[in-house]
Amino acid sequence: MLELPKRFSTLEFATIEIYGRMGKLQGTMKNLSKSGCFVELTKGSYVPQEGDLIHLTFALTSINKTRSVSGQVIWNKGVGFGIMFIKKIDVSKKIIKNKYA
C-alpha cells in the first residue's frame, strides 16, 4: 500500500506565479508535505487550473525561512488548489512538450 507523506497544517502567505501568464497571485498555504501543498487564493483574478505549471514562494515563519518551489496544479475547487512539487527541469520539459504537442 502506498504511504502518503505526512501533511502539516500551516497558515503561511504564498506568492504564486503561473508559467505563461503575467502577474502574481497571492494566497494562504493551508497545508504542506514533502510532495506538495494546498493553497487558497486571496488575491488575483485567475484561479489556477488543473495542469497549470506554477512557481510558488512561501515563508515558513516557524523556522524563519523562505522557500521557492516549482509545481503543477493537480486539482482545484473554488479558490483552493492542490499543488504537486516538481523539479525545475521537469517544468521546462513539460512546457516544451505542451508547446510542441
Least confident of 3-7, 10-14, 46-50, 65-69: 3-7
Note the pLDDT tens digit of each residue in 11-52.
Answer: 999 999 998 888 899 999 999 999 999 999 999 889 999 999
Q: What does pTM read for this prediction? A: 0.85
**Residue 5: its pLDDT value, please?**
77
Q: Which CATH class is domain 8-99?
A: mainly beta
The more confident residue out of 75 and 4 is 75
Alpha helix segments (H runs only) across 2-100:
88-99
